[in-house]
Amino acid sequence: MAATVTDKKASNVVTKRSPTKERKQGNAALAAPSMMGATAPTDEHIDVRGHMRDIGDGVTGRAFGGGLMTPTDAPKSVSAITRDYIAKQNPALNPMQLIRLLPGANVSNQDPLGMTGGHISVRGLTESQMGFTLEGFPINDIGNFAVYPQEIVDSENLSTVKLAQGSADLDSPHISSSGGVVDMYMIDPKKKMGGHVNMTYGSYNATRGFARFDTGYIGNTNLRAYFSYSQGRQDHWRGPGYENKKHGEMKIVNDWGDGNRVSLAVVGNNLENNAYPSVTKANWNQYGIGVDNVPGQKNPSGNTVYARYYTKGDTNYYKFRPNPFTNIYASMPSTFKLTDHLVLTETPYFWYGYGNGGGAQSNNANGNMTYGAQSNLTGLINGQVPTGALLYNPSLTETYRPGATTKLTWTAGPNRLMVGYWFEYSKQRQTAPYSAISDDGTPLNMWGDSNNLILSNGVKAQYRDTLTQTQVHTPFIGDSLSLFHNKLTIDAGLKYAIVKRNGTNYLPDVDRKYVSTNYYQALPTAAIRYKINQNHQIFASVATNFRMPQNYALYDSGSYNSTDKTKAPGYNNKANPNQKSEISISEEAGWRYQGDLISSSITYFHYNFTNRLYQQTIINENGQTYSTNINAGGAHSDGVDAEIGTRPIHHLRPYISFEYLHAVTDSNLPAASGADYVKTKGKAAPQAPAYQVGFGLDYDDGHRFAGFDLKYVAKQYSTFMNDEHIPGYVLMNINVGYRFPKFGIFRSPTIRLNLQNISNNRYLDWVNASQVNAKNTVGVFGSNVTGKSPTYTISSPFAAIATISSDF
């Protein structure tokens, strides 16, 4: 946290150069209402209400709801968490897990330290339908729009996480946000030299260390920086395997004059882990968390854990399921005050990632390999025919992703005009080579990029082999009019997304070797906010959002069939490059009360969707099967979000959130046979719980602190036919801690204990792969439609995590 100067009426972050001048700027910034284009971190407003202090690790003891609410005047629904909440949680938790109590946030939780990632749905929309940004740049994968939260940022450097449940801002750099957005902001370097350290130990041999050094102001300049490093490791709580994560971050800030600022944030992450397997409902009901095997004994049929010991030819061995990944994020969000009325905001960024998800295939290299229509090929690894029963076959992805968002904001009296442009040009290389496995089942290289299988025709064997180049051009313009001394604000804006994708498929005998797609989408938005008085305000907004088809829809891939007449000739994953974008129109209307003691809000929302995108296995008229992407038609949803929190009442700060959601599928989905439709129209949407309740209670007297939180999620359907679901569940956590007096160089030595899932509730917490129907049913035209089982993830059990920490 930045060093502060306390004023009797309000506390403001001020520089040591000109405290009076900056205090005035802070109040002026707060007086200006939010616009619907404020993703860049340099647009953040300072909350100057209430007495601010730092009692260690950025905790103020004053934030609403223990840090689970912040004041806002955005003309749409926005919820947020701050350091008051983040600093008291298990320090290894990832950003998704940290926002689980906010309205509508349905979050999975697979391991105690958050190293296996997780998933989130908000108002029934998953993370691949939402936009995620860190310091103003996009985090979603550019190809399939997935989010890997364990890679993003260490919680010790996380200042604020904002969840806009309904729609993206005008300047949000996303092509996948048909739902809301999550914006993450890192803390600024301290203005005095110092830092923070902590050590963590807990259940399942969980260990983690973190250290940050803040330079303070460097010489007589305004330049300041911090550098941090963390490393964590834990064993799997279910079956064999482990996670090992190394993570580094830095941020450099230089601010000068009247509102000018340049910053640079860099995040590096290296993760080695083994995947947890998903389960079907039948597996879960029969085996629970699974039966671990012993030497000479295999798991029962339908096992729910990977094998601990290798049996020759068994693809279920856990070492075949690593997920190594290295990524680097860099962003330079900067603001330049060109005149008293004109401000330039510039956010260039670069995104690099390299890694895989593991797997194994039977070894047919000795004269039996098939590559495209060519068959009976011999494969060699390092000049020798591999003798093992299996080959390692991970799915490799390498991404280069530079881009920039540029924005000019012009203020003239009550009017603010914003004009901007987002540009990005990415390259994503995706391959799936085969490589050698040792006699004990260990891949010779878990990355899979060496010791590869070369076929007798001189080509490296691949399960997929593609290059996707994506160009994004998105101009946007927005105008905000403030009337009656900022009581009334009217916003309107438009952005126009122009996206071009060029794809090359290097596999032989594909239907399309080169493919080019273009998407043009106008995205208008409008909002109004009225402040009834100092405490009450009402708002309403409407926005158009979109999500492009995922890049794997462009390509044939997988195994090639040329001999089995019961299956379609060609690859088992078929390209479908002519899909339309998924479009949503969201509408919100709400009320907020923001007083000195209580803050609350309630929001009604409505969505209409067209062209919902869905992956399905198709059976043609000859009984032949292949996988492809389809347009699942329309959907709509209605619901209510609400939250309330207080400032300290006898050191207690309660928080409650609530959501009611009614999400409905408006179309009958095609059956896998392609000759009929399943009667899904009017059914509840999968992964859309009707009710969610979050509760948090924080106690903090400056030395002793404790917290309790609870999240209830109602049942979730896992099929569009509503013929299978996972039950509702309750997750409860506790934290307790104590801050000791200053000791030597340690300014705030603290010890805390985080107890997660204190009831040790065993439950399924996420629909990993939803299906149209789980049970056999009769289609619209009377044919029999065979069901397919959805799969699920299992939530982490009870875990105790102890941490000692201090600023210095």
pLDDT at 8: 33
pLDDT exceeds 60 at position 299:
no
Give percent of the chain above pLDDT 90.
66
CA gap 622, 673 in Å, rounded: 10
Per-residue pLDDT, averaged over 753-772, amounts to 93
Which residue would you say has higher pLDDT here, 547 or 10? 547
Give the CB-side neighbour count of residue 739, counting CA atoms within 13 A: 21
Element (H, E) at 229: strand 223-235
477-486 average pLDDT score: 93
Cα of first residue to Cα of last residue in the chain, in angstroms, is 12
Please tell me the predicted confidence (pLDDT) of residue 12: 35
- Beta-strand (E) ranges in 236-338? 242-256, 260-273, 325-331, 334-337
Neighbouring C-alpha atoms within 13 Å toward the C-beta of 657: 26
Two tokens at 468? 């996707």
Do 541 and 76 meet the contact criterion of CB atoms below 8 Å apart?
yes
The answer to whether residues 108 and 793 touch, using CB atoms and an 8 Å cutoff, is yes
Residue 284 tokens, joined: 């879960």
Question: Smallest Cα–Cα separation from 745: which of 6, 192, 252?
Answer: 192
What does the pLDDT average to over 114-142? 92
Average pLDDT over residues 466-495: 95
DSSP codes of every residue in 757-779 = STT----EEEEEE-BS-SS-EE-
Query: Residue 667, Cα to own-chain centre: how many angstroms?
Result: 28
Distance CA 346, CA 332 (A): 8
Q: Is 34 exposed, middle or buried (0-12, 13-18, 19+ CB in 10 A)?
A: buried
SS3 318: helix
Cβ–Cβ < 8 Å for 431, 505:
no
**CA-CA distance, 717 to 734, in Å (whole number)?**
29
Contact call for residues 285 and 292 (beta carbons, < 8 A): no
**So what's the pLDDT on residue 15?**
37
Strand partners, 284: none
Q: Whole-angstrom Cα distance, residue 490 to residue 415?
A: 10
Q: What is the DSSP secondary-structure string of 174-239?
A: -SS-SS-EEEEEEPPPPSSSEEEEEEEEETTTEEEEEEEEE--S-TTSSEEEEEEEEEEEEE-SSS
6 secondary structure, DSSP code:
E
Distance CA 781, CA 186 (A): 56
pLDDT tens across 374-424, in order? 888 888 888 888 888 889 999 999 999 999 999 999 999 999 999 999 999
Say if residue 801's pLDDT is above 90.
yes
Of the pLDDT bands very low, low, confident and very high (cuts 50, 70, 90), residue 626 is: low
* Nearest to 39, CA basis, from 209, 218, 167, 144: 167
What tokens were used for 338?
């060109």
Residue matched to tokens 């090359």: 504
Contact indicator for 680, 616 with CB cutoff of 8 Å: no
Q: What confidence tier does 83 reach under pLDDT thresholds 50, 70, 90?
A: very high
In terms of Cα–Cα distance, which of 85, 229, 171, 55 is closest to 754? 85
Give the three-class secondary structure for 670. Answer: strand
Query: Beta 342-357 vs 325-331: how paired, if at all?
Result: antiparallel
DSSP, collapsed to helix, strand or coil, labels residue 65 as: helix
Residue 150 DSSP label: G
7: pLDDT confidence band, cut at 50, 70 and 90? very low
If we measure between CA atoms, which residue out of 147, 141, 168 comes closest to residue 426? 141
Q: What is the pLDDT of residue 30?
A: 41
* Predicted local distance difference test score (pLDDT) of residue 617: 60
pLDDT at 386: 86
Q: Which pLDDT tens digit goes with each residue over 211-227?
A: 999 999 999 999 999 99
CA distance 122 to 134: 19
Give the up-direction half-sphere exposure of residue 709: CA atoms within 13 A in the CB hemisphere. Answer: 30
Taking the mean position of all CA atoms in its chain, how far away is CA 519?
24
Closest CA to 184 of 147, 156, 159, 167: 159
pLDDT of residue 795: 94
Q: What is the mean pLDDT of the chain?
A: 88
Question: What domains can be seen in the chain, in order of their start residue?
Answer: 194-277+321-807 (2.40.170.20)
In sequence order, the β-bridge partners of residue 768 are none
